[in-house]
Amino acid sequence: MYVIKVPLGVRSYTISIDHRLLARLGHECKRLYLGPRCAVITDRNVAPHYGEAALQSLQAAGFEPTLITVPSGETAKSLKVTATCYDQLAEHRLERKSFVVALGGGVVGDLAGFVAATYLRGIDFVQVPTTLLAQVDSSVGGKVGVNLKAGKNLVGAFYQPRFVLCDLGTLETLPVREYRAGLAEIIKYGIIYEGELFKRLEQVMPKLLQRDPDTLSSVVARCCQIKAGVVGQDETESGLRAILNFGHTIGHALEAIS
């Protein structure tokens, strides 16, 4: 297992990377004295695969979890869905010492993190990314938020998770298109930050395309190390962290018109 630290002083946290880590979710939450009530926010695609496993792990560790399922896709990042999540947190009687688990891809992570950042002026949250793109990018660094009609991520915050749990086993159910989107993000790290990584990717890409466990583990870990280092130097994107936005301007524009 790879364990990487995001160095942010008293708000530092770890990223754990391995296969079959979801079963350890409850244990890791208990180790940090979170709880006892919590909510797992996930989407309709992820819930059938991993929702019950997350609940069971939390229950086995003594927590009182509830499952909140939101629509899949970018439409979930809305103020309307955010308000629905608030209502369900209140219905489950979550308090300031309670926490939220973001179980899903980047959309779920952004939404759940924003909900946690703003409910009761901020409660703890945990990232359990289930897409390759989220594992190497959006789950690390604390950028959370939702969209407005005027554009993406116009309402949000910098709000760091207590820890990130990357279970590479969840990638087994990831569609090819989504998996390749994650590979594109990995290639981006090689372009913007580390030439040696880019050269290595040229050599190991066939194994990555086959989702080889060992290759995947080491590459995801290296990407997380790079992002953790950048975030540690520039948490609020006032300088260096802007390099991670390479391609976003044209990418967001193409997404908006497609």
On whether residue 256 sits in a domain, the answer given is no
| Domain CATH number, residue 147 | 3.40.50.1970
DSSP letter at 97 equals T
On whether residue 6 sits in a domain, the answer given is yes
Torsion of CA 148, 153, 158, 161, to 10 degrees: 100
Mean pLDDT score, 206-211 = 97
The domain tally of the chain equals 1
Residue 52 pLDDT greater than 70, yes or no: yes
The Cα-based distances of 186 to 43, 192, 203, 226 in angstroms read 24, 10, 14, 11
On whether residue 254 sits in a domain, the answer given is no
Mean pLDDT score, 67-71 = 99
What pLDDT does 193 receive?
87
| Poorest-pLDDT segment among 32-36, 120-124, 214-218, 242-246 | 242-246
Residue 175 pLDDT greater than 70, yes or no: yes
Residue 176 pLDDT greater than 90, yes or no: yes
Beta partners for residue 99, in sequence order: 38, 124
Q: Among 146, 33, 11, 181, which residue's Cα sits nearest to residue 99?
A: 33
Domain, as residue range, for 7: 2-248
- CA distance linking residue 235 with residue 157, whole number of Å: 11
What pLDDT does 14 receive?
98
Q: Among 85, 199, 78, 62, which residue's Cα sits nearest to residue 150?
A: 78
What pLDDT does 252 receive?
66
Mean pLDDT score, 178-204 = 95
What's the whole-model pTM score?
0.94
Mean pLDDT score, 41-49 = 99
What pLDDT does 198 receive?
95
| Cis peptide upstream of residue 36 (ω within 30 degrees of 0) | yes
Residue 82 pLDDT greater than 90, yes or no: yes
What pLDDT does 237 receive?
79
On whether residue 90 sits in a domain, the answer given is yes
Residue 250 pLDDT greater than 90, yes or no: no
**pLDDT tens, position by position, 85-141:** 999 999 999 999 999 999 999 999 999 999 999 999 999 999 999 999 999 999 999
**Pairing assessment for the beta strands 151-158 and 143-148 based on DSSP bridges:** antiparallel
Give the angle 205-206-210 at the CA atoms, nearest 5°.
110
What pLDDT does 192 receive?
86
* Run of H or E including 117: helix 106-118
